[in-house]
């Protein structure tokens, strides 16, 4: 397996994992990056498998460049003793794009990551994914998703239950109903209808299944475009975030904007759940969200102050990093007991 690594700080490795034949006659490969604690530090006991949100590639979790990783979640977790596995979605980065781009649906994304997350975690446990790290047989897996990636992570966990805990970033309950005509919002309460009609909705709205960020329509917030409340973000963080921008997968992106799409999968979660959504985020992570996780072993919410949707670029990021790491340590201790 062809691996690449940095020589200082956290150790970084990149490779491609096969997800198998997900569509008839089409096999998928998924690009991943593994970020591990620095050499000479205690062996990691837990690993995050991280899914980015819409218009972002896997580097959303590893913002910046060598010498300046202030905004990198992966770096922060590595310095706190955790491994992160960052994965791209189909059609993004080095991951396979299907012949029909409109086949990139929430179901396809979930099926791909069910396969790749298990392969990655089991590879780390056996010492075959990154031989330099050695075998980590007791490694505890934790799922992590941001925004659209949080919706996908819930579906992955509902299907496979690989993770001992799930961290959901920039996640809420309400969707963005103001972004759609009223008759579409009403019809979308039937998830079967929504799933069937999403490709056509994407065609009408964007004219493509994969849309370059530069071609995104510019819609004022009052006309349905969410505000990311980035005014209080660190300017260097905003610049770093631009390096993670990727094409929009329009069907999964639109899906994540409808209310109730993750209710079924949320009810299937039986492990501890952590929701980290800033006070200035457009996502509604109020107390009603807790009710969606009616079977979770534990539910915790952290709301960093003066923080918008992209958590890692705000001054509160260290608080968020610390809170996530402390929560993950508890998840590990319970799973290892």
Domains belonging to the chain, first-starting first, are 11-336 (3.40.50.1820)
Torsion of CA 324, 296, 172, 33, to 10 degrees: 50
Mean model confidence pLDDT for the chain: 92
CA distance 22 to 29: 10
**DSSP category for residue 56:** B
- The backbone torsions φ and ψ at residue 298, rounded to the nearest 5 degrees and listed phi first, read -160, 150
Q: Is 166 helix (H, G, I), strand (E, B) or coil?
A: strand
* Cβ contact 97:112 at 8 Å: no
**pLDDT, position 223:** 39
Looking at 70-84, 135-149, 156-170, 182-196, which range is the least confident one? 182-196
Beta pairing class for 11-23 and 46-51: unpaired
pLDDT in tens, 147-181: 999 999 999 999 999 999 999 999 998 778 778 88
Instruction: Please indicate whether residue 250 or residue 3 has the higher confidence score (pLDDT).
Output: 250
Beta pairing class for 273-276 and 210-211: unpaired
**pLDDT, position 107:** 97
């Amino acid at each position: 397996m062809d691996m690449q690594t940095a020589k200082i700080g956290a150790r970084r490795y990149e490779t491609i994992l096969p997800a198998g034949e997900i569509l008839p006659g089409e096999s998928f490969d998924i690009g991943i990056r593994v970020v591990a604690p620095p050499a000479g530090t205690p062996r990691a006991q837990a690993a995050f498998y991280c899914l980015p949100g819409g218009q972002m590639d896997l580097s959303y979790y590893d913002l910046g460049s060598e010498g300046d990783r202030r905004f990198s979640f992966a770096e922060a977790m590595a310095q706190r003793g955790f491994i992160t596995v960052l994965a791209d979605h189909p059609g993004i980065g080095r991951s396979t794009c299907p012949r029909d781009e409109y086949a990139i649906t929430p179901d396809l994304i979930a099926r791909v990551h069910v396969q790749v997350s298990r392969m990655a975690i089991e590879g780390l446990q056996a010492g075959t994914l990154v031989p330099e790290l050695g075998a980590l047989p007791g490694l505890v897996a934790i799922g992590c998703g941001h925004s659209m990636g949080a919706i996908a992570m819930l579906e992955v966990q509902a299907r496979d239950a690989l993770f001992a805990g799930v961290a959901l970033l920039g996640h809420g309950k309400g969707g963005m109903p103001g972004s759609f005509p009223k008759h579409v919002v009403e019809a979308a309460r039937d998830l079967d209808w929504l799933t069937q009609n999403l490709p056509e909705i994407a065609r009408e709205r964007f004219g493509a299944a994969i849309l370059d960020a530069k071609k995104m329509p510019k819609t004022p917030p009052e006309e349905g475009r969410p505000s990311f409340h980035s005014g209080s973000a660190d300017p260097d963080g905003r610049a770093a975030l631009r390096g993670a921008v990727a094409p929009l997968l329009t069907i999964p992106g639109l899906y994540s904007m409808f209310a109730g799409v993750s209710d079924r999968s949320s009810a299937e979660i039986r492990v501890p759940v952590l929701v980290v959504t800033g006070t200035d985020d457009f996502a509604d992570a109020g107390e009603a969200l807790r009710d969606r996780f009616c079977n979770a072993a534990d539910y915790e919410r952290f709301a960093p102050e003066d923080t918008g949707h992209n958590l890692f670029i705000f001054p509160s990021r260290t608080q968020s990093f610390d809170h996530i790491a402390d929560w993950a340590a508890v998840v590990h201790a319970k799973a290892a007991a």
